[in-house]
Amino acid sequence: MSFIETLDLVLNQNKNASLAIPMENYMKNNFSFLGIKAALRRELMKQCCAQYPADIKTNFRAICQELYLKKEREYHLIAIDIFMKEVKSNYLVDDIYIIENMIISNSWWDSVDVVAKYLVGGYLVQFPEKKLSLIERFSNSDNRWLIRTAIIFQLSYKEKTDFDLLKSECEKHKTSKEFFIQKAIGWALRDYSRFNPSAVLNYVENTNLKPLSKREAIRNIK
């Protein structure tokens, strides 16, 4: 059996219809679920990966892309977890195409936010020369999830956040009526306020942000 065949078997042995329904409802019925909660899902993934270490190490990119084609949400989240674990800080330049597909396919906040923060964020640490062109392309897209990514990809950067770039993205999208974009602006600013609260407060007070963005941005500033 292959890794994916083994994973299929193990996940289906542990599926739970009574849990699947509320999980689907929580995600606005955008996806089907097997009904496997996060902790168990990760443990089952770990067990399956341990049986195929060489295959995972060599073929994780293809495996993750195949998992992303499956219907149930657990497979998409496992694909992201495997990619994060295996790629570490050894991205290939072309990995951005796999990462971007994880943003624009099977899209919802639970997957996009992880991909944006850890995979896009990590990729651009390794390839900083691609940052401005990639973020500009995402930001100019009509895809709300690519735009959200352009705003929040620095969430793991902490004090190394490029605040000028963050402000530029906020300016560009501050009039958006899209909930997930308004929320992203507030979240990114709030996160950076942990390291530079005065700069964030000054920006918010002098920028005509949507109420949701403003409220989220200054929520933790005392």
Residue-wise pLDDT for 5-44, tens only, equals 999 999 999 999 999 999 999 999 999 999 999 999 999 9
Would the pLDDT of 120 be above 80? yes
Q: Is residue 62 domain-resident?
A: yes
The Cα 17–Cα 23 span in angstroms is 10
In a domain, 124, yes or no: no
Q: What is the DSSP letter of 115?
A: I
Tell me the whole-structure pTM to 2 decimals. 0.97
Domain extent at residue 73:
1-88
- Partners of 167 in the β-ladder: none
Q: Could you tell me the two tokens for 40?
A: 């168990």
**Token pair of 34 as six digits:** 């097997």
In a domain, 173, yes or no: no
Please report, for the domain that includes residue 41, its CATH number: 1.25.10.90
Using CA atoms, how far residue 119 sits from 42, 82, 148, 176, 214, in Å, is 18, 11, 14, 25, 27
Tell me if 184 is assigned to some domain.
no
Structural domain tally of the chain? Answer: 1
Overall average pLDDT of the 111-128 stretch: 98
**Would residue 51 count as lying in a domain?**
yes
- Return mean pLDDT, the chain: 98
